[in-house]
Amino acid sequence: MFSLWQTMHRHNINDLHLVLLSAMMAALLLVSPLNIPILRAVVSLPFALLLPGYALTSALFPNTTLGIPERLVTAIGLSLTVLVLSGILLNYTPNGLKTNNWVIWVYGVTVVVTILALIRRSQSENATHGTPVPVFTLREGLFIAIACIMTVLALVISEKGVENQPQPGFTQLWIQPGQDSTIRVGVRNAEQHVMEYRLVIMMDGRPIADWPAIRLADGEMVDESLQIPGGDSQRRQVQAYLYTTDDPETVYRRVDLWLVGPE
């Protein structure tokens, strides 16, 4: 551990540089399609519970020497505060509180606060030594430039991931009362491929209509009006059963409608 800090000091790499680098790597991994649960969990914990608070602690206390326990406790507490406030804010955005939105938001907060911490630390060194110290060294400027590039890259990966994410297909079946002793029944195919259905309409336990082959392309729908037979009962039950030709014995969708006659 001591040799690591010596190496960092010799190459002018400080803790805030490591925060930027760690946040970049974690954000890219978390928004990427790579799905290794253990790896994502290991990366998520410090990304969420340490890095934002550590950067904020460094920005709030640029010239205060905190012990390791105090710095860790403060960093974790501030990280939790950032997470809670971020969740509240993202919940009011159009895209809502989604994983990729949360990752990019936390990463952006970490980068901005880390840059602020670097500025405050540099200003503190100016005041302490009485000599001009550049706000950013060339190395720090490079880190910040890479952080900005990674932010844009993370946004692009996030958007592409959402666009390319497979969406489950589904079929809609509905039945509605119509006018003059009619009902309307419809089917819409959103299975992302051509489907062939069989639709059976029952009333009070007896079949009154049967469409044996309804072939619909993805996005197509059929909506039909059906005359229902009269009856003496004040309450009549209409049931629509939808089957697929791939599995004609299993009910794929079912809806029920109760019709109440005049008293």
Ranges 41-50, 115-124, 219-228, 244-253: which has the least confidence: 115-124
1/7 Cα distance (integer angstroms) = 10
What are the percentages of helix, strand and coil residues in the chain, rounded to 5? 50, 25, 25
76/73 Cα distance (integer angstroms) = 5
pLDDT digits (tens, 9 = 90+) for 180-233: 778 899 999 998 889 999 999 998 888 999 999 999 999 999 998 888 877 555
Q: Is 231 left (phi over 0), alpha (psi -120 to 50) or beta?
A: beta
Domain residue extents for the chain: 13-164, 170-260
pLDDT band for position 100 (cuts 50, 70, 90): confident
Q: Using an 8 Å Cβ cutoff, are 187 and 198 in contact? A: no
CATH tag, 170-260: 2.60.40.2550
Please give the model's pTM, rounded to 2 decimal places: 0.49
